[in-house]
Structure 1
């Protein structure tokens, strides 16, 4: 029966039902969606079937009688695809199909009572084409494999980059690099689960929450731009008092353009003016889908002095300055701040580590820790990161001594709290942030997003119902006044 509404996504169908439940009239809903009231009425009659449908996020068409495990495979696959695209990785049809088969095998294996030969899922060409139709996924290369680091392309680009810098007369203060990274903001080293009080930390899941951060700084290292954060949930409850545009939470391209116009452009312009530098800047970044080609067109007129330059595919590990120990050092500093917060809470209050982790550590606390860790990245670290691409801009060092003992500090803090942790554990944690998500981690991520979305829908339905009741109360109160005016 869903074919009747092929122009509606599953999300829109549920949205219509929720608005009607909140007191909105059928005619008003029809007007808002540009449909006949009879169509809206038919949707409302199918309320139970629509609400029972659990389509993958991003799917715009609903197909009847599909196996539940296949629906789950596609949900997890779309999350995995988004993570790969955010990282700028090359994703081919063959890679996607292999990942789908691996997800299917893992999910079948986890089903209780499964015995005998496992169900075969071929992830055929036809399935892939139908998935593209249902979900609208794009930027997928049909043939070829993901390439490793392209050394010749990196060498050619380095020459091109230096020529642009020389021709345009850029100085290190005017050249910037930005890059995205994933962060498990609620993850500790594996062996920290053993404490004096308990053998595990209740409430801590291997995959609790993951967010995406975008960092940016100039080549001289004396200007760090406010980071961009993309959280997987559309409206986390911890942000209830903060203004969030939920429609943009998943649109990374739009968020990136907003960040350039609202944060990057403003900060760079003020910095150049304060330092009596010519009003021109170069922003270097990789070719991830979130970083749109032709970005200059979307810049506000006052930021027309900003030029964009893209790194060639498969050269970021070799050339991207942020990938040259800047992001890795940030994650070490974040882990240190996490341990410091845990230590302060357990040492200065009656709250136990278990209670802090379960009831008091939320995304708002995480934001404060991100700010502290980013502020902790030194100018020297940011400047040295350009050595592979622009060696002449790296200032000579006054000392050969190690810049930081962050890892040792983390180990010391952990042991003070009775946590078993070594330097190897910390380094392993930093590397884990960039590992591909496992099937179980994708399942946990999907569950977190679904839980947050359900809470949001419940809150919005309550607010709409209260608003409708308030309007009716006002209408009832004003009717006598209208009658009196008419009488006179």
Structure 2
């Protein structure tokens, strides 16, 4: 519709016409009319300044390089917010220019692009000779597009407020516990953390190959993990935010059955929309907690603690759930998940990654096996390592993390504090690298400091190269999955189950080649136990695919008690009823026995026919 037509439509609504009558007059859906009414102010403002009310909306495509630069700049601002780095307009404009220059392809020039704005240009020089200048008009529109405001920035790396933390622990938190009557099983804390899931210390050959050779996953590729647990030691299934909704590595996988709750965001950041609309609160947190409390015979009464991070929504409401935000700049002092739980998890994840590398070497002594393993390390392998790390997150670790906030409920478990688990895991990872990966460059002289720096690397500021890397690969995997037309048979099909059963039968040869009969029998029994489920599925599917015999559609008729010379006439319906079981449909009956010829009555039939 033109602007003039929309104005006339709005005038009719203003005069008292109903949405339905206006929709019928213009041949529109009623929802479209309501949508136009919602934008009444913008439409009338456009009509008041346009030179022709018969014109339609004209959209000018934006420069793709500027759009990519703005996305990277948004990531950088969010990262600075989490690290409590003060920013102003001048700093943002300067960073925008450097990011834009870093996006210029090799041998290219940035002189052929404008500043991404159409007003407020102070430089009288032609636009094609200036390139991107980050003008006042651009920064104004950039703030509006990304919702930037001059607000206090709170982050995990902020200068800790000791006084506020002490006041909360001694006064406010005990008051919450007393008023709500909460017990450890009902007290939960959630926090998010970044995880560079495919990064190794820079001295190792992985880093060099990632830089030099194509085909490697960017070592700065990151995910955001949402970790939540209670004071009794329960760790809920974590949420994971990745940049791609359907990565190629998870093609044909049921995302509801992953070891994490899968979410997607172009920059893999936590946002208010994900916290509110996601599955996290309504479809993830609530169902898990309800099931847990029901199994323990406890009422559904929950207190959820969160920090004041910018991506955390403040409008979370649910009957029986009280959401409490910790005071600003106290996260590093009193938030349970930040008291070593996240660091312990990352240490366990790193060790699990090392063990995967070692298993690849055990399969093949060639050094190329290790590089090939790392080249094939994808997000699916990352999820497997996350699951392995979660299995080792004992109940005692989570309970000990509440010592600073709620010391009354913490039990003394020697050797299970988050710090002890972290140090022990790091030492094991270093020992594994030195003993089993000694022949590979960079592993022989690995130290605990190398592993610790890897665990804490998400706290380092993002460089321009990191930002460009993250934004350039935002849709690579999804495009790869969409463009992959190679047919592949995935899932529990008959052929795949048959192959799995054949592999299991091949492993039964252990009894033939092992001279230790007891060990061989135990191995065979364990294989049988594991394969029992798949064998049952295979038998059911095989039975369903078997061709049904025709005898299933026929029944033997009982001979009559007395045989008369003249058989009684029968209708087609009675004929079908006496020859077929009641479960066979009429359509199948006709297909199975054919349509019998019409029968005549005794009066119409001739003596010979009778």
In structure 1, the partner of 2:146 is 137
Change (3 A) 1:273 1:437: same
In the TM superposition, residue 142 of structure 1 has moved relative to its aligned partner by 6.3
2:386 paired residue number? 370
Q: Please give the alpha-carbon distance, in whole angstroms, between the structure 2 residues aligned to 1:339 and 1:156.
A: 43
Deviations 1:66-122, CA, capped at 9 Å, x for gaps: 5x764443231133345556x5867754454453245346557x955889xxx8976
Q: Does 1:187 align with 2:199?
A: yes
For residue 232 of structure 1, the aligned residue among 243, 261, 271 is 243
Q: Distance in 2 between matches of 1:281 and 1:164?
A: 12
Which residue of the partner structure matches residue 456 of structure 2?
431
Task: Tell me whether 1:309 sits opposite 2:321 in the alignment.
Answer: no
SS in 2 for 1:442: helix
Cα RMSD (Å) of the superposition? 4.1
Q: Aligned equivalents of 2:211 and 2:32: distance in 1?
A: 58
Q: Report the TM-score when normalising by structure 1.
A: 0.69
Deviates more, 1:136-145 or 1:438-447: 136-145
Q: Which residue of structure 2 lines up, in the alignment, with residue 259 of structure 1?
A: 280
Aligned to 1:333: 348
Given the superposition, is the C-alpha separation of residues 232 and 84 from structure 1 closer, same or farther in structure 2, using an over 3 Å criterion? Answer: farther
Gaps of 5+ in 2: 4-27, 34-57, 111-129, 257-261, 488-610
Any residues of structure 2 matched to 1:158-173 within 5 Å, and which?
Answer: 158=169, 159-173=171-185
Cα shift at 1:253:
3.7
Deviation, 1:411, is 1.0
Determine the structure 2 residue equivalent to 1:449: 474
Per-residue deviation at 1:148? 3.0
Counterparts of 2:311 and 2:60 in 1: how far apart (Å)? 30
SS at 1:433's partner residue? helix
Distance in 2 (alpha carbons) for counterparts of 1:206 and 1:459: 21
1:157 match: 168
SS of 1:407's partner is: helix
Counterpart in 1 of 2:291?
Answer: 270
1:399 Cα deviation after fit: 6.2
Deviations 1:25-49 (A, max 9, x none): xxxxx99x979xxxxxxxxxxxxxx
* Secondary structure at the counterpart of residue 230 of structure 1: strand
Counterpart CA distance in 1 for 2:255 and 2:211 is 38
1:88–1:286 Cα contact (<8 Å) kept: no
Aligned-pair CA distance for 1:261:
2.5
Give the superposition deviation at 1:452.
2.8
CA distance in 2, matches of 1:65, 1:339: 45
SS across alignment from 1:339: helix
Instruction: Tell me, in whole angstroms, the C-alpha distance in 1 between the residues paired with 2:77 and 2:211.
Output: 36
Distance 1:294 1:427 in 2: 37
The answer to whether structure 1 residue 76 and structure 2 residue 72 are counterparts is yes
Q: What CA distance in whole angstroms lies between the structure 1 residues aligned with 2:195 and 2:353?
A: 13
Determine which structure has greater relative contact order: mean sequence separation of CA pairs < 8 Å that are 6+ residues apart, divided by chain length: 1
Q: Secondary structure at the match of 1:295?
A: coil
Larger mean Cα displacement after TM superposition, 324-333 or 186-195: 186-195
Q: Is the 8 A contact 1:337 1:369 kept in 2?
A: yes
Give the distance between the partners of 1:311 and 1:143, measured in 2 at CA.
15
Q: Deviations over 1:176-219 (max 9, x none)?
A: 11111111111112223289x99999854663521110001111
1:258 is displaced (CA, Å) by: 1.0
Query: How many Å apart are 1:152 and its aligned residue?
Result: 3.1
> Which structure dedicates a bigger proportion of its chain to helix?
1
Picking from 367, 370, 382, the partner of 1:353 is 370
Q: In 2, Cα distance between the equivalents of 1:144 and 1:358?
A: 39
| Paired residue secondary structure (1:191) | coil
Partner of 1:15: none
Cα distance in 1 for residues equivalent to 2:461 and 2:59: 29
Find the structure with the greater CA-based Rg: 2
8 Å Cα contact 2:154/2:310 also seen in 1: no
User: Which stretches in structure 1 are left out of the alignment for 5+ residues?
Assistant: 5-29, 36-60, 463-488
SS in structure 1 at match of 2:191: strand
In the aligned structure 1, how far is the partner of 2:281 from the partner of 2:297?
22
- In the TM superposition, what is the alpha-carbon distance from 1:453 to its structure 2 partner? 4.3
Q: CA deviation at 1:381?
A: 2.3
Query: Is residue 358–residue 437 contact of structure 2 (8 Å, CA) maintained in 1?
Result: yes
Is the 2:241–2:263 contact (alpha carbons within 8 Å) kept by the matching residues of 1? Answer: no
Count of residues paired in the alignment = 393
Aligned to 1:472: none
- Worse-matched range after superposition: 322-331 or 451-460: 451-460
